[in-house]
Amino acid sequence: MSNEKIPSRSENYSEWYNQVIQRTEMADYAPVRGCMVVRPYGWALWENIQASLDKKFKASGHVNAAFPLFIPMSFLEKEKEHVEGFSPELAIVTIGGGEKLEEPLVVRPTSETIIGYMYSKWIKSYRDLPVLINQWANVVRWEMRTRMFLRTLEFYWQEGHTAHATQVEAEVETRRMLDTYAEFAYQEAAVPVIKGRKSATEKFAGAVNSYSIEAMMGDTKALQAGTSHFLGQNFAKAFNIQYLDVNNELQNCWTTSWGLSTRFIGAIIMTHGDDQGLIMPPRLAPIQVVIVPIYRNDDERAKVMPVVDQLSKQLEAFRVKVDDRTELTPGFKYNDWEMRGVPLRIEVGPKDVEKNSVMTARRDIPGRDGKTIVSQADIVSRVKQLLESIQANLLKKATDFRDSHIFEPADYEDLKRIVNEGWAYAWWCGDPVCEAKVKEDTKATTRCIPFDQPAEHGKCIVCGKDASEKTYFAKAY
Ligand SMILES: [Zn+2]
């Protein structure tokens, strides 16, 4: 552990990101290329993300289950687009227990196929519908270029899989879960996201329509932070997910799937982090408040520690950490917890004890401006207020940053310039050829086609033909 400075974001954003993760002990590199070890501090953040989402899923009638890690290769082959999309990323087991397997097993990259297979056994009648199941799991995709949390061979996520009697119901579910993700992103993570539909090129392999929430990172790149897919009857037909309707006629189900992964941790790091390190949104922060006792000798320590203990008891409703490490100076501790992004610090020294007060320091407002003297008697209500204020400020800062980096290009040359410093919001005719040209010329892709669209039509920014929708073009993680 050291207090050595990390590179600034403007100096080297990617190195800033890697070092923040390592130095704050969020994650570490695993011995296998492209895999990561999520360390306790990173996992604690994931647990808070899980708890928050799980509550929302259950409130909307979903239940959890666990499906197997291995999927027969033949299952993936049943849905043509699905297998084509995932083939390059599959890890396949061919030997088990020393014997060559009759049929290779895929380590799940996602579970539509195996869950579809099980649903075909479980669903018989319209009375069995809808089926609303989620699983918290790890999946494997053999990625070539990896980044911690953003793209790793193995990652953690939840995948919801639902089956419905009607198209409308499945479409409503798809949009509802996208809304759930957006609500979580805004309210819990203070990450302002834009909801929209994916282009045909960018959609999930096997879906009719994919929707995503897109977030802008501190370097203005986009990050797809959650997706919800309307699968139509594609998987129902491939796996015979059928039911007898009220007239006793056999019908195919309509299915959906939706997922949010540990990638979201990357979104939190890059939305809120600054040159000092992480800034955790209070609602998800593994540690919301750190109390640092200040003393120069045993005498002072004897004065300060009982107050510290008392404060930590009073604040038991919050996630509080007392940093009583004796070998380190308070200044060192301040830097350490700032780097780890703890939203609020409470300093308690002998003078504070005499005055029945403490000093609070906000992580989101550096230096003196973020410091306030708080009376010990008011500590619970003040901490609550401060954390709420920090949460709101983080969302405001991120929203202002995002909105000041979205531009409407005047022409194609302008778009090429814009995607180097933000997102371009532009008319697009919907032709994949225009989309491919932008990607080739600039590396930017269509991120999502937002739901709110202007009433009028415009001209495609690439080809000049009539366009009915505007889309976001941006470089993305
Ligand atoms: Zn066009």
Residue 8 scores a pLDDT above 60: yes
CA 195 to chain centre: 14
Residue 421 gets which letter from DSSP?
T
21 pLDDT more than 90: yes
The rounded Å distance from CA 420 to ligand 1 centre is 21
Cα of 445 vs centre of ligand 1, distance in Å, is 14
Taking the centre of ligand 1 as the mean of its atom positions, its distance from the CA of residue 125, in whole angstroms, is 46
Close Cβ partners of 450 (under 8 Å, ≥ 6 residues apart): 194, 195, 196, 470, 471, 472
List pLDDT tens digits, range 282-293. 999 999 999 999
Longest Cα–Cα distance of the chain, Å, equals 84
> Are the beta carbons of 280 and 343 closer than 8 angstroms?
yes
Could you tell me the distance, in angstroms and rounded to a whole number, from the CA of residue 468 to the centre of ligand 1? 11
CB atoms within 10 A of CB 190: 27
Ligand 1 centre distance from Cα of residue 408 (Å):
16
pTM greater than 0.85 (yes/no): yes
Q: What's residue 80's pLDDT?
A: 86
Is the pLDDT reported for residue 123 higher than 60? yes
Q: How far apart are CA 243 and CA 266, in angstroms?
A: 41
**Alpha carbon of 59 to ligand 1 centroid (Å):** 42
Q: Measured in angstroms, how far is the CA atom of residue 211 from the centroid of ligand 1?
A: 21
356: pLDDT strictly greater than 60: yes
Give the Å distance between the CA of 464 and the centre of ligand 1.
6
Write out the DSSP string of 129-179.
--EEEEEEEEEE---SS-BTTTB-SEEEEEEEEEEESSHHHHHHHHHHHHH
Q: Cα of 459 to ligand 1 centre, how many Å?
A: 8
How many A from CA of 175 to the centre of ligand 1? 27
Give the distance (Å) from ligand 1 centre to CA of residue 433: 7
What does the pLDDT read at residue 2?
A: 59
3-state secondary structure of 430: coil
The CB density around residue 238, as the number of other CB atoms within 10 Å, is 22
Ligand 1 mean position to 232 CA, how many Å? 27
Assess contact for 205 and 224: CB atoms under 8 A: no
Average pLDDT, the chain: 96
The DSSP-derived string for 345-358 is EEEE-HHHHHHTEE
Q: Percentage of residues in the chain with pLDDT exceeding 90? A: 97
Ligand 1 centroid from CA 199, angstroms: 13
- pLDDT per position as a tens digit, 312-335: 999 999 999 999 999 999 999 999
Measured distance CA(171)–CA(202) in Å, rounded: 19
Q: How far is the CA of 14 from the centre of ligand 1 (A)?
A: 33
Distance (angstroms) between ligand 1 centre and the Cα of 198 equals 16
CA of 435 to the centre of ligand 1 (A): 8
Ligand 1 midpoint to CA 196 (Å): 19
- Of 139, 226, 147, nearest to 188 by C-alpha is 226
Q: Cα of 83 to ligand 1 centre, how many Å?
A: 29
Q: How many CB atoms lie within 10 A of CB 2?
A: 8
The residue ranking higher by pLDDT, 388 or 80, is 388
Best CA proximity match to 202, nearest among 193, 219, 217, 214: 214
Distance 172 CA to ligand 1 centre (A): 30
Q: Is 3's pLDDT higher than 80?
A: no
CA 439 to ligand 1 center in whole angstroms: 13
Cβ neighbours for 385, distance < 8 A, ≥ 6 positions apart: none
Ligand 1 center to 314 CA (angstroms): 61
Distance from residue 53's CA to the centre of ligand 1 (Å): 38
Ligand 1 mean position, distance from CA 422 (Å): 21
pLDDT at 291: 98
CA 427 – ligand 1 centroid, Å: 8
CA of 467 from ligand 1 middle (Å) equals 7
pLDDT in the model for residue 361: 98
> Residues of the chain with pLDDT > 70: what percent?
99
Taking only Cα atoms into account, the Rg of the chain, rounded to an integer number of angstroms, comes to 25
pLDDT of residue 473: 98
Residues 243-271 pLDDT 10s: 999 999 999 999 999 999 999 999 999 99
**Cα(275) to centroid of ligand 1, in Å?**
40
Q: How far is the CA of 472 from the centre of ligand 1 (A)?
A: 14
Distance from Cα 432 to the centre of ligand 1, integer Å? 8
- Range 6-15 average pLDDT: 94
430 Cα to the center of ligand 1, angstroms: 6
Distance (Å) from CA 437 to ligand 1 centroid: 9
Q: What is the pLDDT of residues 172-182, one digit of tens each?
A: 999 999 999 99
Rounded Cα gap, residues 471 and 453, in angstroms: 9
Cα 51-402-48 angle, rounded to 5 deg: 10
Kindly give, in sequence order, each residue whose CB lies less than 8 Å from that of residue 124, ignoring residues fewer than 6 positions away: 243, 244
Q: How far is the CA of 212 from the centre of ligand 1 (A)?
A: 22
pLDDT for 82? 86
Tell me how far the alpha carbon of residue 429 lies from the centroid of ligand 1, in angstroms: 4
- Ligand 1 centroid–CA 457 distance in Å is 13
